[in-house]
Amino acid sequence: MRIIVVGAGKVGTSLTAQLIREHRVTVIDQEPKLIENIINVYDVMGVCGNGASYEVQKEAEVGKADLLIATTSSDEINILACLVAKKLGVAHTIARIRNPEYETQLRFMRGELGLTMSINPEKAAAHEIARVLRFPAAMKLESFSKGRLELVEYRLPERSALDGVRLLDIYRNARARVLICAVSRKGQTTIPSGDFELKTGDKIYVTAAPEHLSAFFQYLGVFRKKASTVMIVGASKMCYYLADELLHMGMSVKIIDQNEARCTQISEQLPRALVIQGDGTDSELLAEEGIEQTDAFVALTGIDEANILMAMCASRQTEQCKVVAKINRRSLTELVSSEGMIDSVVSVRDVTTELIVQYVRAMESAAGSRIKTLHRLVGGTVEEAIDFSRQMREITLGENPNVTIPLLGFMGVPSAIDITRVGSSGILPVINTAIAHKDAGVGMIGAGIVHPPFACFEKAILGWCERYGV
């Protein structure tokens, strides 16, 4: 495919590095040095100028592209770049949109402005952390095959039960149906055989059904239940998204930040969270706030070094606490990961890049499939169907792992509508309508979509408040 990347910053550069392996990539940026650097390093076509400009996009031959990805630091430029690209004939556009104020307008942007996908880096990274906290023993967690299989990244600690053990013996002794499909040792990744012997410090990639993974980690003596109490340092946008998701999962959340204004703001946004003004690097403060009784500690300040130090300090204060740190600089990420200093590391750039690359690959997989024909039969488009799924995700509590959507990175179908989210966002559920015949195979009448009236959700919220005395 021909892909246009607008913005040669960290995300744009990371995307380019991955996409050039399989696609023709053109990069647009206003900074001549960035364009020169990315051309020299990755041997791609570069155009210097404003990516939202019609003339600049014409020079980059955007009209011949299959996809445009806008990743600049400005939400407005990203949106305008996608709009101009649509007018030039680009079928698919992706915009990086970070401002929380636009969250309630995403439905309009996708529907009226023609955005195929919008991605909020902070929200996506927060979702990644929340997923890890569901299985604290893992460094990273990925789901496959409609949730029936999970891939877990795990580092062997010192005095691990697997140190010096052959894979063949593990399968024989653990009595858990797991597969160690890869082992990373000192930067080298190996596809192991049964005779492969594990060593302390190895990162192993284990795949199995969720129940077998639990049994495997119980065998190792490192199984941890899902976190129920979480301490977050840094009242950032990412903190808001993470805390909101954790609260909806039923967890108890405590937030620490030095800035009084940020503490006030996030306490108003998240009244169910406990917000404390203080220095998260102060070990005495962490001890006072019960770090030893906390299931998970997450460092989300804007300073990588501070996040690393806080995470390491939290690890020393309690062995049972799952520790996660946000680190943006690749060199620090690699150092911390290779040395095993912290349980899990999250990079906003890497999460954003991975999601976009997943979407690009899903586009390729879906090309020429019968899905398009199916959606045309019911009077809509694939893009509209994807948009409906994203909208529903904003107002639901979870996803159904048994039914996934390939074009959305195999996201589960949104499930369990939250009336409070409908009320706060103004997004109404999408209802499929049709009248089916009593006899199978006769056919049906309709096959359209409707939205329920907003008034029924208002009444539901008022009724809930009255019943529970809120």
- CATH code of the region 2-119: 3.40.50.720
**E-strand spans in 8-160?**
24-29, 45-48, 67-70, 92-96, 117-119, 140-144, 149-155
**pLDDT value at 73 more than 60:** yes
Greater model confidence, 273 or 449: 273
Greater confidence (447 vs 467) lies with: 467
Ranges of CATH 3.90.1700.10 domains, the chain: 368-468
- For residues 17 and 11, is the Cβ–Cβ distance under 8 A? no
Taking residues 153-165, report their average pLDDT.
81
Q: Using CA atoms, how far apart are residues 306 and 283, in angstroms rounded to an integer?
A: 13
Comparing C-alpha atoms, which of 366, 363, 364, 415 is closest to residue 389? Answer: 415
Helix (H) or strand (E) run with residue 275 in it = strand 274-277
Give dist(CA 417, CA 396) in Å, integer.
4
Q: Phi/psi class of residue 469: alpha, beta or left (left: φ > 0; alpha: ψ in -120 to 50)?
A: left
Q: Note whether 216 and 234 are within 8 A (CB).
A: no
Token output for 45: 């076509």
How many whole angstroms separate alpha carbon 196 and alpha carbon 168? 8
Burial of 284 (0-12, 13-18, 19+ CB in 10 A): exposed
Give me the CATH code for the 368-468 domain, please: 3.90.1700.10
Q: What is the pLDDT of residue 108?
A: 73
How are strands ordered across the β-sheet holding 322-326?
274-277, 252-257, 229-233, 296-299, 322-326, 344-346
Q: Label residue 367 left, alpha or beta by phi (over 0 means left) and psi (-120 to 50 means alpha).
A: beta
The CATH architecture annotation of domain 229-350 reads 3-Layer(aba) Sandwich (3.40)
Give bridge partners of residue 70 from the DSSP assignment: 6, 95
CA–CA gap between residue 204 and residue 153 (Å, rounded): 6
| pLDDT top residue among 314 and 223 | 314
Contact between residue 356 and residue 119 where contact means Cβ atoms under 8 Å apart: yes
Is the domain covering 137-220 a CATH 3.30.70.1450 domain? Answer: yes
pLDDT at 35: 94
Read off the pLDDT of residues 420-442 as tens digits, 9 standing for 90 and up.
777 666 677 877 666 666 665 55
Are 371 and 440 contacting, i.e. CB atoms less than 8 angstroms apart? Answer: no
Q: Which stretches within 43-120 are classed as H helix?
A: 54-59, 75-87, 106-112
Q: Are 25 and 44 a contacting pair, CB within 8 Å?
A: yes
- The whole-angstrom distance between residue 15's C-alpha and the CA centroid of its chain comes to 16
| pLDDT reported for residue 224 | 60
Question: For the chain, where do the domains classified as CATH 3.40.50.720 start and end?
Answer: 2-119, 229-350
| Residue 55 confidence (pLDDT) above 80 | yes
The neighbour count for residue 398, using CB atoms within 10 Å, is 14
Cβ atoms of 49 and 62 within 8 Å: the answer is no
Q: 40 pLDDT exceeds 70?
A: yes
Provide the CA 461 distance to its chain's centre, in angstroms.
29
Is there a contact between 267 and 290 (Cβ–Cβ < 8 Å)?
Answer: no
Average pLDDT estimate for 235-255: 91
Is 0.75 topped by the overall pTM?
no
403: left (phi over 0), alpha (psi -120 to 50) or beta: beta
For strands 203-208 and 179-185, give the pairing.
antiparallel
Rg of the chain on CA atoms, in Å: 24
- The most distant pair of C-alpha atoms in the chain lies apart, rounded to whole Å, by 72
Return the higher-pLDDT residue of 391 and 386: 391
Q: How far is 458 from 423, CA to CA, in rounded Å?
A: 7
**Which run of H or of E encompasses 264?**
helix 260-269
3-state secondary structure of 283: helix
264-314 residue pLDDT tens: 999 999 999 999 999 988 888 888 888 888 888 999 998 999 998 888 888
